[in-house]
Chains A and B, each alone.
Chain A
């Protein structure tokens, strides 16, 4: 049970925060919940290092392969630590950020439920469960990005993020289900242990592509990258949490998770490396032109996600090691920088680089946090960012193929990120003061500068304690991804090697790009209005809406006769297909004899049906249908189904009565129908009648040894104390089905209510 409680604790905190509106200065206390979860992760760390794991299971839909399996290993534990640790700081920050503005409790509640879902992703050991948590993060992210729901723009951006990641989520679902079927197991740890089964599957490529689609959309890989910068419409605590340290890493996380299964397939390495590299360059280059601090950060996040993806794609132990170091470093400094940007926004009233400057004396604490985080991001020694970059270059230069190309991409990306880091963490504080900022710039409360400070300092501490960081955090997690125990160490200093020289080149190039910043900023509008992938998304969305409108108008025109035609036509088509394609037509043979009563009843029914079809007035048609019903009742009686007969009689009678109530309000029959419509109706009716005839005939020709009815009849009294089999089936054997049906009745009643009151309230000028 122990593994459940961190997730449950945070989820419970979310529910509480939604209900209990703490006064503003106490809201920071909500951070205690994720804090406790973080403490739990830290305390259980010794259990998971070195190949250990914690597991917990509760049964769920076992028949469907879905159990609530949780498993904490070093890789998941590392992510769990980031989620809960950064999450704790984010809650503190959010409490400070929302001071004086409405909705603070709501934001904290939503952040907490997101956190629970995110924690679920990293500890889920069942494919279905993983997907459930995955979708939960998409939905909560929708609510968080659209937090300022009164703004149209913010709703639009939230919807975009939801649609892109949600579509990817569908692909992921398909991929996971295929994977589960092919592997014969839904437990992720078991699938990883039996990777060769999956590798031998004929659907391997399909599985890979589908899972990649899910991961790429979530982690904003090109060409799905555009939603991430747009999601900056979210409040800053949300961006700092979702769009740096956690949600966007979910894609990277599962890439790493499934890396041991799929590594070795060229369908895995190729797309992952290329998508990663393109995202790295696109993110870093576009980031240059951004003038909004948060946008700058969003594009650097893209670049980093690209870098991480590319490293996973390489798949070597070294590459994965670099990935982990980079991932930890990035989570620390990027969340910190986001919080710094939010602090600047809060204190100076703007995030626009043209208006910011000279804040070093006014916001000293934020300045220190910003500088430390920026140095780590820029990759100065001895920050963790430096080590990460060293390992990245080491990976790049030791590649077997295309090493110059990939190393070049890494170099360019790092240079650009260096410049972007300084723009956010350095420029607003150390450039010339500008007066355009609104109000009086001021330092925020401790809740706003302490969390980024903690993260930024950790980036420095982890870098200083290189060996400790490596042995306790990176290497155990690495062993989980590669599947083999590792005896390596991290080092800060490798001597004067090619990676070090590349680092120096990065600094030089980065400084030059930083100095040219205004040149790029001036081109912002030009680049922003240029061609982008987002336009394709917009067109697709608009096209879908347009198509849906047309289709609705075509299929749901509002005329009942049209609906009937479509429903009957669709049924007839399916039946035809079944007969022609699968079953073949039944033989026209006859067993048994003609008894007088059924024959008379049949003639009676047919006469009624023909009269109804030919009727020129609704009343006549209605009564003719009543005649049909009576005939069918007679048939039921004759064949020994009194329950059906009574029901038929009552329903038929009631229908006639109810229709009589409204019939004089209806327009004359066939007022809207022309000759061709009537002919089409006649043809379709004839086809449908014939098909039902054929269906009945073929049902009679199926010979079963043991009929279900007999079994039920035998069991009826013994097991259910009832002699009326029909009733026993309805209320006992198939009670759940009956319950479904009465629910349908209830829903229909709601529909009736809506229809009746809509008619009542409609004003004459409408419609």
Chain B
């Protein structure tokens, strides 16, 4: 299903990178201010669903490069991995493990740890799920 609107067909080319950056920022800032993996994942998924609406799911899949379902399992795997790390590293129970803070130019202080990794897993899972459903419903097989 392709739209006939020129605007809608062309807009994602510009919007896609912007929305993806927005998704990344939303995800990253989530630990201190509103945002996080779930919201970021939804935003990221919307970017590709927008492409699918404008130029069809084939293009969207090509742009995305990764199968939605693979993205989803990758996310589940990363989340599980971070839990296991926390389980092994922490003394019993799932403790968060953190690296020391360090400075990155343009971004500022960066503080990485297993909860961030877990959130990344959530991000990918949500994004994979939403794109899976979004693409699936558009594709002409209903």
Query: Interface-forming stretch among A466-474, A489-497, A640-648?
Result: A640-648
Given contacts A658-B133, A658-B134, contact A730 B38 (CB under 8 A): yes
- Within the complex, the shortest CB–CB distance from B44 to chain A, in Å, comes to 11
Q: Which residues of A contact B42 (CB under 8 A)?
A: 647, 650-651, 654
Q: How far is the CA of A743 from the CA of B75 in the complex (A)?
A: 10
Tell me the nearest residue of chain A to B32, going by C-beta: A723
* A650 and B115 contact, CB distance less than 8 A: no
* A731 and B111 contact, CB distance less than 8 A: no
Contact with A along B56-89 (1 / 0, CB 8 A): 0000000000001100110110011001001000
Q: Which residues of B contact A739 (CB under 8 A)?
A: 79-80, 83, 118
Tell me the nearest residue of chain B to A722, going by C-beta: B31
* B130 and A654 contact, CB distance less than 8 A: yes
Q: Which residues of B contact A665 (CB under 8 A)?
A: 142
Which residue of B35, B80, B126, B142 is within 8 Å of A745 (Cβ)? Answer: B126
B122 interface residue per 8 A CB criterion: yes
Q: Which residues of B contact A646 (CB under 8 A)?
A: 26, 34-35, 39
Q: Which residues of B contact A658 (CB under 8 A)?
A: 133-134, 137
- Within the complex, the shortest CB–CB distance from A446 to chain B, in Å, comes to 51
* A756 and B122 contact, CB distance less than 8 A: no
Contact with A along B120-138 (1 / 0, CB 8 A): 0110011011101110111
- Within the complex, the shortest CB–CB distance from A559 to chain B, in Å, comes to 18
B94-142, CB < 8 A from A:
94, 96, 98, 111, 113, 115-116, 118-119, 121-122, 125-126, 128-130, 132-134, 136-139, 141-142
B51 interface residue per 8 A CB criterion: no
Q: Which residues of A contact B68 (CB under 8 A)?
A: 749
- Within the complex, the shortest CB–CB distance from A735 to chain B, in Å, comes to 6
- Within the complex, the shortest CB–CB distance from B130 to chain A, in Å, comes to 6
Which residue of B36, B69, B116, B136 is within 8 Å of A724 (Cβ)? Answer: B36
Which residue of B1, B38, B49 is within 8 Å of A647 (Cβ)? Answer: B38
B24 interface residue per 8 A CB criterion: no
Which residue of B115, B133, B138 is within 8 Å of A731 (Cβ)? Answer: B115
Q: Which residues of B contact A760 (CB under 8 A)?
A: 141
Given contacts A742-B125, A753-B69, contact A724 B35 (CB under 8 A): yes
Q: Which residues of A contact B72 (CB under 8 A)?
A: 745-746, 749
B17-46, CB < 8 A from A:
26, 30-39, 42-43, 45-46
Contact with B along A135-163 (1 / 0, CB 8 A): 00000000000000000000000000000
Given contacts A721-B98, A748-B129, contact A730 B137 (CB under 8 A): no
Given contacts A721-B98, A732-B96, contact A727 B30 (CB under 8 A): yes
Q: Which residues of B contact A721 (CB under 8 A)?
A: 31, 96, 98, 111, 113
Q: How far is the CA of A752 from the CA of B69 in the complex (A)?
A: 11
Q: Is the interface of B mostly helix, strand, loop or mixed?
A: helix
Q: Which residues of B contact A671 (CB under 8 A)?
A: none
- Within the complex, the shortest CB–CB distance from A659 to chain B, in Å, comes to 9
Q: Which residues of B contact A662 (CB under 8 A)?
A: 137, 142
A657 interface residue per 8 A CB criterion: yes
* A756 and B121 contact, CB distance less than 8 A: no
Which residue of A647, A654, A727, A736 is within 8 Å of B83 (Cβ)? Answer: A736
Tell me the nearest residue of chain B to A665, going by C-beta: B142
Given contacts A651-B42, A721-B98, A724-B31, contact A742 B142 (CB under 8 A): no
* A735 and B45 contact, CB distance less than 8 A: no
- Within the complex, the shortest CB–CB distance from A740 to chain B, in Å, comes to 10
Given contacts A654-B45, A662-B142, contact A749 B35 (CB under 8 A): no
Q: Which residues of A contact B122 (CB under 8 A)?
A: 730-731, 738, 742
Tell me the nearest residue of chain A to B86, going by C-beta: A735
Tell me the nearest residue of chain B to A666, going by C-beta: B142
Q: How far is the CA of A646 from the CA of B111 in the complex (A)?
A: 24
* A746 and B115 contact, CB distance less than 8 A: no
Q: Which residues of B contact A736 (CB under 8 A)?
A: 83, 94
Q: Which residues of A contact B46 (CB under 8 A)?
A: 650, 653-654, 657
Q: How far is the CA of A286 from the CA of B111 in the complex (A)?
A: 78
Q: Which residues of A contact B31 (CB under 8 A)?
A: 721-724, 727-728, 731
Which residue of A642, A650, A752 is within 8 Å of B132 (Cβ)? Answer: A752
Which residue of A643, A723, A746 is within 8 Å of B36 (Cβ)? Answer: A643
A680 interface residue per 8 A CB criterion: no
* A742 and B79 contact, CB distance less than 8 A: yes
* B75 and A735 contact, CB distance less than 8 A: no
Tell me the nearest residue of chain A to B124, going by C-beta: A742
* B133 and A752 contact, CB distance less than 8 A: yes
* B115 and A749 contact, CB distance less than 8 A: no
* A759 and B142 contact, CB distance less than 8 A: yes
* A742 and B34 contact, CB distance less than 8 A: no
Q: Which residues of A contact B136 (CB under 8 A)?
A: 752-753, 756
Q: Which residues of A contact B94 (CB under 8 A)?
A: 735-736
- Within the complex, the shortest CB–CB distance from B142 to chain A, in Å, comes to 6
Q: How far is the CA of A647 from the CA of B121 in the complex (A)?
A: 17
A720 interface residue per 8 A CB criterion: yes
- Within the complex, the shortest CB–CB distance from A397 to chain B, in Å, comes to 62
* A746 and B76 contact, CB distance less than 8 A: yes
Tell me the nearest residue of chain A to B118, going by C-beta: A731
A661 interface residue per 8 A CB criterion: yes
- Within the complex, the shortest CB–CB distance from B68 to chain A, in Å, comes to 8
Q: How far is the CA of A745 from the CA of B128 in the complex (A)?
A: 9
* B141 and A749 contact, CB distance less than 8 A: no
- Within the complex, the shortest CB–CB distance from A699 to chain B, in Å, comes to 24
Q: How far is the CA of A311 from the CA of B39 in the complex (A)?
A: 69
Which residue of B38, B39, B86, B137 is within 8 Å of A661 (Cβ)? Answer: B137
* B129 and A749 contact, CB distance less than 8 A: yes
- Within the complex, the shortest CB–CB distance from B33 to chain A, in Å, comes to 6
Q: Which residues of A contact B53 (CB under 8 A)?
A: 657
What is the interface of chain A, defined by CB distance below 8 A to chain B? 642-643, 646-647, 650-651, 653-654, 657-658, 661-662, 665, 720-724, 726-728, 730-732, 735-736, 738-739, 742-743, 745-746, 748-749, 752-753, 756-757, 759-760
What is the interface of chain B, defined by CB distance below 8 A to chain A? 1, 26, 30-39, 42-43, 45-46, 49, 53, 68-69, 72-73, 75-76, 79-80, 83, 86, 94, 96, 98, 111, 113, 115-116, 118-119, 121-122, 125-126, 128-130, 132-134, 136-139, 141-142
Residue contacts A-B, CB under 8 angstroms, 30 given: A646-B34, A646-B39, A650-B42, A653-B46, A657-B46, A657-B134, A658-B137, A662-B142, A720-B96, A721-B111, A722-B32, A724-B30, A730-B37, A730-B119, A731-B37, A731-B118, A732-B96, A735-B94, A735-B115, A736-B94, A739-B83, A745-B72, A746-B72, A748-B129, A752-B133, A756-B136, A756-B137, A756-B139, A757-B141, A760-B141
